[in-house]
Amino acid sequence: MDYIRHIGSPLGPLTLASDGESLTGLWFDGQKHYGMTLAEEREEKDLRVFRETEAWLRLYFSGEAPDFTPPLLLRGTDFRRRIWQLLLAVPYGETVSYGELARRAAGDVPAAFRCARAVGGAVGRNPISILVPCHRVLAADGSLCGYAGGAERKRALLRLEGIEIP
């Protein structure tokens, strides 16, 4: 059983998901891969992790770098979880390329997954938007490319962090 909560944000409605203890999902309503890790059986519930996530999001959307992270449970394949862990290491206000993420993962994953395209697939299926900062991943030339929540949201999230993309 999963629990969900719908909240608003400056960039549109969000759906939060939890197993009851940890945050397992955060999606912009209608984004690509929306709810991909949600159990079929779910109910709306007020949970501590949702309140912590909302506090984190309030700080973030006010332009501050939150100094805490709610408990997260990343559901996915070993490869995807490895890439999502690498995303968590990308600091607020900084970016990384898909190729650089592939290089960082190189020692830990089979050769077939060491390319930027495979990394891009994992980044795009990140189930916890914003907190697991997939919006900080750019093309090799520094341009925007791909974001399940839409390019304008990606640009807005980067702008919040002081990153301007031409």
Active site members: 134
β-pair partners for 72: 23
What token pair was written down for 137? Answer: 């991943």
Cα-only R_g, the chain: 15
